Chains A and B, each alone.
Chain A
Amino acid sequence: MPKMFPGGVHPKDGKALSAGSEIKTAPLMDKYIVPLAMHIGAPAKLIVREGDKVLKGQVLAEANGFVSAPIHSPTSGTVISISKTSTTGEMLSVNNCIGPTGTLIPAITIESDGEDKACEPLPTIDWQNADAKTIIDRIRETGIVGMGGAAFPTSVKLSPPPEKNIDTLILNGAECEPYLTADHRLMLEEAEKIVQGAMITAKALGVEKIIIGIENNKPDAVKIMTEVAGDRAVVKSFPVMYPQGAEKQLIYACTKRRVPKGNLPMEAGCVVQNVGTMVAIYEAVVNGIPLFERITTITGSPVVEPGNWKLRVGTTLDKVLTLAKGVKKDVPVGKIILGGPMMGMAQYSLTVPIMKNASGVLLLAQNEVKQYESLPCIRCGRCVDVCPMGLMPATMSVQIEKEQFDLAENTNVMDCIECGCCSYACPSRRPLVQLYRHAKSEINAQRRKNSQK
């Protein structure tokens, strides 16, 4: 089968470690550290106080603005600490937690009472006869965010401006990130919920056409999804190529439409949702259960028992590793990554909690990682060959090193999707993606400054 998009790489996929293991539900933990910013946008606003008794599914913090999402309690118990800042507004390490990016983020700590008593679920919505607003409001109040990794509030994605002509809902089951098998297992085990969730989402968007995109290294998932979907959705399988699951690449593969530069997928008439989000939407609309747990792959060669676990948000990494029976004695761990090896973040602390977008916890052995010294660019052009967005990574990286952010902006650094293909291909081991992130933050800061003037 031909390639579905320009560029791309073939990293070692490592999915065999956990692909065969069924989803297991994690036991109740004694403590959950629930961050208040598990989504893109404003952190949620606290509505509980220290010492309050909460029930499973109870709202701990409510959405603070349009692009925000509420946070729900993962279990019943007592709020033992709430987020605190210093008098000057700086985050303190007490009562907050280290987030996946290594910086302190506001958090609440809940001590479990062991009863795991759920609060009254929200009433079931008869979604087939409900209007779009009812469904989207439910998705907003249950705190559903994109579970593929970006954690963008789903309700925002489902409320496009009325003048945009959306005709296709694309479900992302590509799971192109190596090692991760959470979506794969979900498609095998919860196929009906995924399709139902997709029907609900399609209803909310008012679209007829549903396409489920799956990479063809998961033939069992393609088979099951095709059987379950029937005539309700079209299942398309694509050749294996990283980053097949990136939004713009998936839209092109499914519909042959291109998202215009600097725009959102709705310009191409598409909305892309992760399959995990579909299950969350199904649970929220049909069963009235808010989002506080997700499927996470725990894998890597040092892990004793790699597998896929249903984890509640706020479970810290040390407990996650205990679930996987720890690490092998003879394999020294080199790195712990939250997410996949291409786009995930290396962690230095085991107190980092699982958030709504944690698709995997990956451990790499010491012989699998290496500390490189970054060398000057030799203009070999491999990064240009592999860039799925058709950018010129080499040129941009040199511009950014010279702090010429305006030039980098003209070279379209803002279109970078941070997939990591260029860094993967670079023979000089240049920290390319990191440079682009730096440039993006500088350019955004400059734009904010200009708009204030």
Chain B
Amino acid sequence: MNLETLMTAVLFMAGTGLTLGLIIALANKFFAIEEDPRVEQTEDLLPGANCGGCGYAGCTAFAKALVAGGVEPSKCPVNSEEANSAISQLLGLELSFSEPHVAIIKCCGDNVESPEKALYNGVNDCKSAVLVAGATKSCQHGCLGLASCSRACPFNAIEINDKGIAIVHPDICVGCGKCVETCPRHLIDLVPKSANVHILCNSPEKAPLQRKACTKGCIGCRKCIKEAGDDSVHMQGFLAVLDYTKKAPMSIIDVCPVKCIQPTLGVEYVPEPKKAAPSVKTLPCHTKLGIEGTVDKAVIKKAFAQKVAAAKAESPDDKEAVADLTKAFKAANALADKFGAEKPAPAEVTNA
């Protein structure tokens, strides 16, 4: 191989490279598409999860919509406040805040509370299960636990627990709402993140049938409505429903007899100490039993038993004394019923 051949090859390759490079450079100049640089900057500030919670196809589409105007950064359910304010500054928008939401699954009847009524051996998908057999859970309205919502969640915020029920982890959930449509029983709602108490039942059935299907289903007793006092809880047929625009007191958790009202996952609820029993004036019936005025039936019963024993020890044939004491005992009990709502637990009575 001589030098000339080598040079020809090198020069030819260099020439080709230069020509092609020139074509690319020209194409870049003449066929360039002008893009607003702010779109890219905005997109960098968005989370990039492409969850679709904003209603657009992905973060790029949302960024374009933001730059085009008419949309607020707070429509993105995932973004932090700092990033949102940065976007607002970049685009010269007024900063607005919207309350962050989380998904909640309105069912707490796991496979212990609402057992399977038939064996289901098919596609592990809630929608499929509902199509072929109406699904096999005793409750016709409850969570099936076949994880359709969990698979749809782009953030892995929904867990199917070991008792076969879906649970949303509120600290991971960003409220994009992708799971809402996947539930064939329409159990998933988006609720404000600040809400700390939820009614975890969606069954409109009447109490007797509800009790047969699930031991944790709402029986429509209205105790929570009484406890809440305001209209933060209302009845929808035989089902208590929370109005999340008004904050319901956490004390409604205590009054629910079926325990379907529960605090948000991870929130500790310590019931308020019971109010001291109201006292009543010491009346003749109390004096007779030798006690202060009280509404504690256990105390009344104990005093009565002591007095009767004493009377019997003194004169076993004196029936009048016992009758008097019984009269006083009944009167004191009636007073206790009238003024004291709190009834002593059965254990205390038997001990006395």
Q: Sort chain A's interface into a size bin.
A: 20 to 34
Asked if A438 contacts B117 (CB within 8 A), the reply is no
Most central of A88, A101, A102, A441 by chain B CB within 10 Å = A102
Interface set, chain A 55-101, CB cutoff 8 A to B: 86-88, 90-94, 98-99, 101
Across the interface, which residues of A come within 8 angstroms of B280, CB to CB? none
Which residues of the partner chain A approach B122 to less than 8 Å between Cβ atoms?
A: 431, 434
Asked if residues B127 and A442 are in contact (CB atoms below 8 Å), the reply is yes
| A91 and B205 alpha carbons, distance in the complex (Å) | 9
Q: Which of B95-127 contact A (CB under 8 A)?
A: 117-119, 121-123, 125, 127
A437 in contact (CB, < 8 A):
yes
Residues B131 and A437 in contact, CB atoms below 8 Å apart: yes
Listed residue (B122, B136, B140, B205) with the most chain A CB atoms within 10 angstroms of its CB: B140
- Specify which of B121, B132, B134 is in contact with A98 (CB 8 Å cutoff): B134
**How many residues on chain B are close to A (CB under 8 Å)?**
27
Closest Cβ neighbor of A102 among chain B residues? B134
A-contacting residues, B140-187, CB 8 Å: 140-141
Give B197-226 as 1s and 0s: 1 = Cβ < 8 Å from A's Cβ atoms. 000000011100100010000000000000
Residue of B nearest to A401 (CB): B123
Name B181's closest neighbour in chain A (CB-CB): A445
- B128: A residues at CB distance < 8 A: 434-435, 437-438
Q: Is there contact, CB below 8 Å, between B133 and A371?
A: no
Contact B134 A372 (CB under 8 A): no
Task: State which of A86, A104, A434 has its C-beta within 8 Å of the C-beta of B132.
Answer: A434
Which among B134, B209, B237 is the interface contact of A103 at CB below 8 angstroms? B134
Find out whether the CB atom of B236 lies under 8 angstroms from the CB atom of A437: no
Given known pairs A101-B131, A102-B134, the reply for A371 and B237 (CB within 8 Å) is no
Q: Which residue of A93, A345, A435 has the most chain B CB atoms within 10 A of its CB atom?
A: A93
Chain A contacts for B132, CB-based, 8 A: 101-102, 345, 434, 437
| Identity of the chain A residue whose Cβ is nearest the Cβ of B202 in the assembled complex | A90
Chain A CB within 10 A, most for which of B132, B205, B238: B132
Asked if B131 contacts A441 (CB within 8 A), the reply is yes
Taking a contact as CB atoms under 8 Å apart, the answer to whether B134 and A431 are in contact is no
Closest to B128 in A: A438
Q: Does A346 contact B (CB under 8 A)?
A: yes
Question: Which residues of B are found within 8 Å of A86, using beta-carbon distances?
Answer: 204-205, 236-239
Inter-chain contacts of A434 with B (CB < 8 A)? 122-123, 128, 131-132
- The CA of A342 and the CA of B284, in the complex, are separated in Å by 83
- In the assembled complex, the CB of B223 is this many whole angstroms from the nearest CB of chain A, namely 20
- Cβ of B336 within 8 Å of any chain A Cβ, yes or no, is no
Q: Are A92 and B205 in contact (CB under 8 A)?
A: yes
A88 and B127 contact, Cβ closer than 8 Å, known pairs A94-B209, A102-B134, A372-B121: no
Contacts of B136 in A (CB 8 A): 102, 348
Question: Please, which residues of chain A bring their CB within 8 A of the CB of B237?
Answer: 86-88
Q: When chains A and B are docked, how far (Å) is the Cα of A348 from the Cα of B140?
A: 13
**Chain B residues with CB below 8 A from A93, complex form:** 140, 205, 209, 213
Tell me if A348 and B117 are in contact (CB < 8 A).
yes
Task: Enumerate chain B residues within 8 angstroms of A101, measured Cβ to Cβ.
Answer: 131-134
Closest-CB distance, B181 to chain A (whole angstroms): 10
Once the chains bind, are A438 and B204 in contact (CB under 8 Å)? no
Q: Which residues of A contact B141 (CB under 8 A)?
A: 90
Q: Distance (Å) between the CB of A149 and the closest chain B CB?
A: 16
Residues of A within 8 A of B134 (CB): 98-99, 101-104
**Quick one: given A90-B141, A92-B206, A93-B205, are A102 and B133 in contact (CB under 8 Å)?**
yes
The 4 A-B residue pairs with the shortest CB-CB distance in the complex, in nearest-first order: A102-B134, A86-B204, A348-B118, A103-B134
Please name 16 further chain A to chain B contacts, defined as beta carbons within 8 Å, in addition to the given A102-B133, A438-B125, A438-B128, sorted by A numbering.
Answer: A86-B239, A87-B204, A92-B205, A93-B140, A93-B213, A94-B206, A98-B134, A101-B131, A102-B135, A103-B130, A104-B140, A345-B132, A431-B121, A434-B123, A435-B128, A438-B131
Using a CB–CB cutoff of 8 Å, the interface residues on chain A facing chain B are 86-88, 90-94, 98-99, 101-104, 345-346, 348-349, 371-372, 431, 434-435, 437-438, 441-442
19 CB-based A-B contacts, threshold 8 Å: A86-B204, A86-B236, A86-B238, A91-B140, A94-B206, A99-B134, A101-B131, A102-B132, A102-B135, A103-B140, A104-B134, A348-B118, A348-B136, A434-B122, A437-B128, A437-B131, A438-B128, A441-B131, A442-B127
